[in-house]
Structures are given as C-alpha cells and as structure tokens.
Structure 1
Amino acid sequence: MRPSAARRSPQARRAPLAARPGLRVKSPDALLAESGTDLDGNGLARSMGLFQVVCFGIGAIVGTGIFVGLSDTVAHAGPAVLISFILAALTCIFTAFSFAELGGAIPVSGSSYSYAYATLGERTAFLVGWCLLLEYGVSVSAVAVGWGQYLNELLGSLTGWQLPAALASPPGDGGIVNVPAVVVLLLAATLLVRGIRESARATAAMAVLKIAVLLLFCAIALSAFRDGNLTPFAPEGVAGITSGASVAFFSYIGFDAITTAGEEVKNPRRNIPLAIMICIGVVTVLYCLVALSAIGALSAGDVADKPAALSLIVNHVTHSAVGGGVIAFGAVVAIASVVLAVMYGQTRILMSMSRDGLIPRVFARISPRTATPVANTWIVAVVFAVPAAVVPLDVVMNLTTIGTLAIMAVVNVSVMVLRRTRPGLARRFRVPLFPVSPLLGIAFSLYLIYGTGRATWLEFAGFLVVGAVVYALYGRRHSRLRTAQEPMPDEGAQSSEEAHRSEPAPLS
C-alpha cells in the first residue's frame, strides 16, 4: 500500500473533479432554493409583470450606445454602419436564445454568474462575475458620461447656457470632472433603494418616452433622406464593418439585465424568456432604422465622432434648435433609465455572489422595510461614480464591450453543458437549432472580440489576472459551497483513521 493512501479517506479518493476547489458546481436546485432571500431571511418581492420586464430590458439597452455611440460606429464603418448594427444584433440574438433558456430554467438574480456556477464551476463563475463588473458597473459609468453630453445640449437649447466644459467632461475630453455623471448615478441609487415597484414604474415610463423620441427622430431625418449619402457604402471595407460592429455591440449591452430580475418577476419561467426575445426584436429594428435615417439625412463624414449626433442631425434638417432640444430631452431620459436598469442589474449580481460567500456579506443584505439591497446599491453608486467622473467614454466602452462578449461566449457554453448534465430540468424555452445556435453565438462573440483590437485584449487579460488573484485570496477561502462540501477537520481525521483500519494488513 502506498503511504499516501492511508491518509486519504475513501470519499476523498472518489471525489469527482467538479468537487475540487475552483471546479465546484452549484446545482440549479440549490440556486433556486436560496433565491429570493438574504442570509438573514429578508426577502425580495415579486412585483414585475411581463410589460414591466420588457420595459426594464429596453430601459437597460437603449441609451448611450445609440444616442452617443452612433457617431463612433459611423467613424469606423461609414454608411455600412447598418451592417455593423445587424452583425452586432446577430451576436446578441444567438446568445439571447441561450439567455432565454437559462433564464427560464434557473430564474435567479445572478444571471450569467449563476449559470456558470451551475455548469462550469466556481472559479469560472467568479471570473464571470468579475467580468460583469465591466458589463454593468463600468458600463454604467460610460452611460453616465454620455448623459452629461446631452444634458448640456438640452440646457443650451432651452436657456442658451451650458455647464462649463471643466465640469461636464472627464479629463481627456476637455474637462476636469464630469459632475452630471455623478449626479445621475446618485439619483438612480436613490430611486432603487426606495423599492423595485417604484423603480419598475419609472423605468417603464422612461422606456416608452425614449422609443417615442427615437421614432420622432427617424420621421424627421427620413424627410431629408438623400441616396448620395450612402456612397461609398463601406469606405474601410470589411475591417471597418467588423470594428464598427464591435463598437455597435455596446448599443445592445443590457438585454441580459432582464435575467438579473429573476427573483422579482412574476411567473419568471415564462416571462423572462419572452421578455428577452421581445426586447432584442424591438431594439434591432429600432437601431437599424435610426442608423439608416441618420446617414441618409447627413453624410457619414459629418456624423462621425460628433457628440450628441442625433440632436445635430435634427438641428440640421429643421434649421432650428427646437427639434434638437426635443431629441436631447429624450436622450437625457433614455440614458437616465439605462443608468437605473444597469445599476439594478449590478446590485443583484453582487447580491448573488455575496450569498455564495465569494464577496463580503454586506452586498447580500436586504432591507426588510424596502425589500432592496440598500447598502449594496449605495456602494455601487459611489464606487462607479469615480470612473464616471474622470474616465473618457471611449476608454470605458472598449473594455466594457470585450468583457460582455466574453460573458456571452461563456453563457453559450453553459447552455450546452446544462443540456448534457441536467437534460430533465424544466425549461419553458429551448434554444432552437441546438447546438448550432449556441456555437454560432460563441463564434460571433469571438469574432467581435477580435475586432476590439490588441490594446483592449491586453487590458482585458490584465483585468482577468487581477480577478483570478482576488478569487484565490478571498473567494475560494470564503466560499459557502466549499464549507458545505468539505468535512470538518475532526471528521476528516476520523475518516482517515477508519480508512486506515479498513485497509487489509500488509503481507509480511
């Protein structure tokens, strides 16, 4: 007998690979059993119906990406921006199928973090949660930066006065500190801690308003449509379309925020998949219509790299600042709703990670009075107000995009793994053309990651390394699943002794 065998219990020798540190998998049943409450028994309230969830999804998606980021996409792709938006939409559609299946099968607040925990193991789940800091936390900073641009446009059209550049833009964009970005984050946090019912009503009203404003923009811009503005259609060729799609993808970030509401939605197994499909369809049609209208009304060269581009186009077409003021008002409301919805998603993901012990317990505490994670919400608002105040928008957008694409690739892998490991799990929605659809989702995600550029790859690699270190130093040691699976020291010693006694005596 080898000496090491006596020191290992039979359970340890038979332990599956998934039970080892970093590869521990949390079953969907355990995720569902723990959902809806914090570690002290305080619970969330299921108060969102299908309409509220759809509006919440549109509220999370439509904002800075189209109102501010359109000009950046045009700078890369030219009039072929339309194809860039369609390419980005295809990536989202294939991945949306996977999110819809997983969101219906495991309706919890952790979204892609929880799906990775149930399929790929704890270490991967932690890194997904780490990347979600980019998709939700850092992107909310980017969204807040864009809010300041349109707020100044609105103030200029109404009063002729604007905030000084030093107080309305971050360093690198001609300013010192972006005060409006900080203000909108604090306002969103104030509304979120009041309760999910109030937040859902506000998000629904803002979603309806911004769709109306974008349709108004399309009507005005199409009245001045010129075919000549569409030529040359792709001045930078395929490379320009690809890089444009990577930028345009930022405009779609947020549809997966619907899955973070899994513990506060009525009939989540039905409403979450349905809401995801409705949101992707509405937003794709709307974005393509806006992009086509914008380039048709004003040449790509005049739109590229212009702040508040939609207001600029309307002012050009109407020869008045009034129309641009209306668009600016819609953008201010639209971007504020994105801040609200995305900050909501970030707090719910952190709450799930905290419940699992991977981050400090303060993020899981739910107020018994408002049924919201109050401390969690204020921490998120204050922490991400810093990059919103001092980091230029384009820097934040690139890193956010690659982090989100990486998460989408993981979600497509997760849906395939869960089909294999839990084929009998209840699913109200199933990915069509399985496994072709998730494989295409992975391929499109990797293709757009390629388009983000080498500098962004290196920044993201460094970000992942930091996340792995944080997991090793804190998450792995404090994991509640590790505590539940590993025997106490006395039990381990007893098992070793029993194993030693059960071994046959060596032959002399």
Structure 2
Amino acid sequence: MAAETGADASAGHEGGDLKRSIGLGQLVAIGIGSTVGTGIFFVLSEATPKAGPAVVLSFVIAGITAGLTALCYAELASAVPVSGSSYSYAYATLGEAAAMGVAACLILEYLVSSAAVSVGWSEYLNALLQSTVGVRVPEALSGAPGAGGIVNLPAIVLVLLCTLLLIRGVSESATANAIMVVIKLAVLLLFVGLAFTAFSADNFAEFAPLGVGGIGAAAGTVFFSFIGLDAVSTAGEEVKDPRRTLPRALMLSLVVVTVVYLLVAVSALGAQPWEQFEGQEAGLAAILTQVTGASWPGIVLAAGAVISIFSVTLVTMYAQSRILFSMSRDAMLPPLLSRVNPRTLTPVPTTLLVGIAVAVLAGLVPLDVLADLVSVGTLVAFSVVSIGVMVLRRTAPDLPRGFRVPGYPVTPVLSIAACVYLILGLSWITHLVFVLWLAAALIFWALYGARHSRLIGTPAGSSDGGASS
C-alpha cells in the first residue's frame, strides 16, 4: 500500500525490526567510509595516462554522475526510508521482478567489491609489515590459488573481524567506522599538504594531451572511486529521523568525497608530471617519497590504506547484509535471513551468510577480472533509482517526501543518461556476463520469489503494492 511506504513500512514483520541508533555524523561517516577506499590510492596511476592533467575533469564528470544519482537517492530515501537501498526503491516503484534484477546488481556491487578490497587489504598489509618490521605473510598464505598462493589468509581474517563487529551491533560498527574515516581522511590530507609543497604549474601546461575522448575514458575508470556512496541508503531503518537524515547524509558524503578526490588529484599532478603516473605502484606513496626524500611517507600511506580498506570492507558487508535482510522480509529469500537477534537487534543469520560468502571469494578467488562487473552492477542500480523517482512521482504523488529532486524531471533523466554513457564504455564481455548473471537472478525469482513473496510484482501506488508492506 502506498500509504505504508515510509518510515513505518517495515514494522510488524515476522523476522523483527532493526534498532534506530545511527545519527547524521555516523551516517555521513558510513557514506565516506564506503566510498573513500582503495580507489583513490591507485586510481591516478590508471586514469592519468588516459587523460593527462585533464584527469581532474574526469573526476568532475564522475562526481557529477554520482551527484545526479545521489539527488535521486535522497528523494527515494526520504520517501521510502527502509533498509535495502535501491532494491527496496525498485520494489516500491517497479515491482518484484525489477527489484530482483536490482538486487543482482547490488550483490555484484557489494559482495564482490567486499571480497576484492579484502584482497587489496592483504597486499597493503604485507607492504606495511615489510616496511616496518621486515616480514611478510608467506606467499602461499596471502594469495588465492589463481594468484600464486593457496589461500589468502589475511583477507579471510579481515572478513572475520568485520563479521564479528557487525554482529556485535550497528552502533558499535558505526562508531568504529567513524574513527577509521577520520584516520583515512587525515592521511589523504597529509598527502595533499606535502604534495602541494612541490607544486609546479608547468605540469598542467599541456592540459588535455589525449583530447576529449581521453577525458571520457578516464571518467569511467575514476567512477570506481565513487562506488559505495549508496551504502548510506541501506541504513534506512537504523537511522534516527530518516526522512531528514538520509538526504542530508547523502549530500554531505558526496561533497566531502568529491572535494578530497579533487585535492588529491590536483596536488598529485602538480607534484609529478603526468607521464610518470603510468605503471607507478603505490602512486601516492611514491610521490611523497620523491617530494620528501624520506621513506616514512610510504609507511604512513600503507598504514592509511590498511585502515581505509578495513573501513570499506566493514561498510560494504553491512550494506550487503541489509539488502539480503530486506529481500528475506519481502519473502524473496528464505525467512531465516530476516531474523534479528533480540539483544543486539542485528540480523545475525544474514551477516553470517555474507561473511562466509565474502571470505570464500576473498580467500580462494582472484577477483581482478570482476572489477568491471562491480561497475556495471552499480550503474544499472543507479539508473533504476532515477527511474524510480519518476515512477513514484506519478503513482504516489502525495507520498510524504523529506527531500525532492531539484530540476525534476531533467535531473533524473540526466542521471540515467550519465550512467548509460559510462556503461557503454565497458567491454562487451562485461555486458555479456552481466546479462547472464541477471538472467540467473530472474530465474531464481521465478522459481522461488514469485511463489513465496507477499506481493506478486505490484508496484507502489497501486492497490496492493509497497516497499516491504
């Protein structure tokens, strides 16, 4: 029922309800924590050779794409403040089949990226141990079978720690994440401050050596650095005053992330000619070593990366568990996954399932080939959110909204166009694998979800539909 699509739409379900314990500051930290991760620590080495100094504009393009989508997320989050992010929004506006497709996209975004960043954490941890105490985790225990090892033990340990913290309680997890966010931002701002001491305007003299096409190509690469911002909306049922807090947190997170990224990009390009970025490992640390002539910056950056990736893994696992929790409560997945621990008010079965799945992927599977799948899944989910805004404006025009997209309907249309532009830049193999994955998810829905769910593909605003009604 459209009237139920709101702050109380989730109440009264068999599995139990979540605890509202997250404030604006903690929610902003979740947005920053899930976004500022491994990307900014290596993306310049990949993107700068494609665009030259104009990679700064690539960051702006990626930021605008994320910003347009964030506006659409803000409206739906204020109108449908439940757990589940764009899955719940699709469920509320487009029906079950569309929601299942979006859920498949979100699994690519969160489950695979959680495992991927865990593998990255293992690499940075080895670099930190090598530079501080002169030891490394043996190669057999720090790499997957396809990456020269037997099992990636550090990655599994990280996933285990995040799982235990999430089971303990969302408030404790949010506080730990907030602390890690402060540390990672301090490390990046330290980089900016030191890099600007060697700033040379001559490095920007040939601003766009590879033309407009290079800027667009680099924008697709840079977009990885903005993935995760939508994790804010997965906390809908655990946020105090969600109609006001969710939109504010989305906007504040985006502003902080974009400003930090632009500062890092401008200072890095000012300190080092753009031609030197290609093939540069641990690029930020290498730049600081050149600038200061000392080894301690590399240690600081490695430590910052270790903390940063811990934070990203924690938040992406949190987001994935809440999406599966919402799907279970809608009977799109087995009911066990929507049970809540009566003491901690956390969805323990779902959190354990996510922890096990991520640990298996991180410990046993090399995940570098899945990076584009993470991106296409995210972009498709972003597009559906923008479509959902337009659908809900027509089907439930009187639904209370704590935030409305400015410039409607131009803004959601531009958001969809920007996402499609970036999707088209991905390889045909990525498109094929994504279509096969999406087909498998829809087959599962036809065999299980459509037979067990409380609603049968009825969008909000009709007589029977609603998000988690």
Partner-residue secondary structure (3-state), 1:72: helix
TM score, norm. by length of structure 2: 0.93
Is 1:191 the counterpart of 2:191? The answer is no
Equivalent residue for 1:481?
455
Aligned length: 459
Equivalent residue for 1:467?
441
Is 1:449 the counterpart of 2:423? The answer is yes
The superposition leaves residues 452-491 of structure 1 with CA deviations (integer Å, 9 ceiling, x where unpaired) of 2222112211211111211112211111224999xxxxxx
Separation of aligned partners in 2, 1:189 and 1:36: 25
Separation of aligned partners in 1, 2:81 and 2:285: 40
Is 1:240 the counterpart of 2:214? The answer is yes
Q: CA deviation at 1:114?
A: 1.0
CA contact (8 A) 1:37 1:44 kept: no
Equivalent residue for 1:81?
55
The structure-2 alpha-carbon separation of the partners of 1:51 and 1:154, relative to structure 1 and needing over 3 Å to count, comes to same
Separation of aligned partners in 2, 1:239 and 1:367: 52
Separation of aligned partners in 2, 1:165 and 1:28: 57
Equivalent residue for 1:276?
250
Query: What pairs up with 1:384-395 in 2 under 5 angstroms?
Result: 384-395=358-369
Separation of aligned partners in 2, 1:75 and 1:186: 37
Partner-residue secondary structure (3-state), 1:377: helix
Structure 1 stretch 452-461 or stretch 50-59: which is displaced more?
452-461
The superposition leaves residues 283-303 of structure 1 with CA deviations (integer Å, 9 ceiling, x where unpaired) of 001101111222222333433
Equivalent residue for 1:20?
none
Separation of aligned partners in 2, 1:170 and 1:229: 40
AA partner of residue 434 (structure 2): F
AA partner of residue 68 (structure 2): F
Separation of aligned partners in 2, 1:303 and 1:67: 12
Work out which of the residue numbers 27, 39, 49 in structure 1 matches 2:14: 39
Separation of aligned partners in 1, 2:86 and 2:73: 8
Partner-residue secondary structure (3-state), 1:68: helix
Q: CA deviation at 1:73?
A: 2.4
CA contact (8 A) 1:31 1:114 kept: no
CA contact (8 A) 2:121 2:306 kept: yes
CA contact (8 A) 1:186 1:381 kept: yes
Separation of aligned partners in 1, 2:300 and 2:263: 19
Q: CA deviation at 1:350?
A: 0.4
CA contact (8 A) 1:315 1:324 kept: yes
AA partner of residue 4 (structure 2): D
Separation of aligned partners in 2, 1:455 and 1:294: 33
Partner-residue secondary structure (3-state), 2:308: helix
Separation of aligned partners in 1, 2:358 and 2:34: 17
Work out which of the residue numbers 111, 114, 120 in structure 2 matches 1:146: 120
Separation of aligned partners in 1, 2:42 and 2:11: 36
Is 1:328 the counterpart of 2:302? The answer is yes
Separation of aligned partners in 1, 2:44 and 2:151: 24
Separation of aligned partners in 2, 1:310 and 1:268: 37
Q: CA deviation at 1:30?
A: 5.1
Unaligned runs of 5+ in 1: 1-25, 486-508
Separation of aligned partners in 1, 2:148 and 2:208: 31
Separation of aligned partners in 1, 2:425 and 2:73: 23
- Provide the identity percentage: 51
Unaligned runs of 5+ in 2: 460-469
Q: CA deviation at 1:179?
A: 2.5
Query: What pairs up with 1:30-109 in 2 under 5 angstroms?
Result: 32-35=7-10, 38-40=13-15, 42-109=16-83
CA contact (8 A) 2:120 2:309 kept: yes
Query: What pairs up with 1:104-123 in 2 under 5 angstroms?
Result: 104-123=78-97
CA contact (8 A) 2:58 2:219 kept: yes
The structure-2 alpha-carbon separation of the partners of 1:236 and 1:382, relative to structure 1 and needing over 3 Å to count, comes to farther
CA contact (8 A) 1:88 1:248 kept: yes
Is 1:411 the counterpart of 2:392? The answer is no
Separation of aligned partners in 2, 1:380 and 1:158: 33
Equivalent residue for 1:500?
none
CA contact (8 A) 1:101 1:429 kept: yes
The structure-2 alpha-carbon separation of the partners of 1:171 and 1:307, relative to structure 1 and needing over 3 Å to count, comes to farther
The structure-2 alpha-carbon separation of the partners of 1:28 and 1:66, relative to structure 1 and needing over 3 Å to count, comes to farther
Q: CA deviation at 1:176?
A: 4.7
Larger Rg computed on CA atoms: 1
Structure 1 stretch 270-279 or stretch 180-189: which is displaced more?
180-189
User: Which structure would you say has the larger RCO, counting Cα contacts within 8 Å and 6 or more residues apart?
Assistant: 2
AA partner of residue 360 (structure 1): P
The structure-2 alpha-carbon separation of the partners of 1:390 and 1:246, relative to structure 1 and needing over 3 Å to count, comes to farther
Equivalent residue for 1:372?
346
CA contact (8 A) 2:22 2:238 kept: yes
Work out which of the residue numbers 159, 174, 183 in structure 2 matches 1:200: 174
Separation of aligned partners in 2, 1:49 and 1:28: 26
Equivalent residue for 1:8?
none
The superposition leaves residues 377-413 of structure 1 with CA deviations (integer Å, 9 ceiling, x where unpaired) of 1111111222223444532221100110001111000
- Tell me how large the CA RMSD over aligned residues is: 2.1
Equivalent residue for 2:185?
211
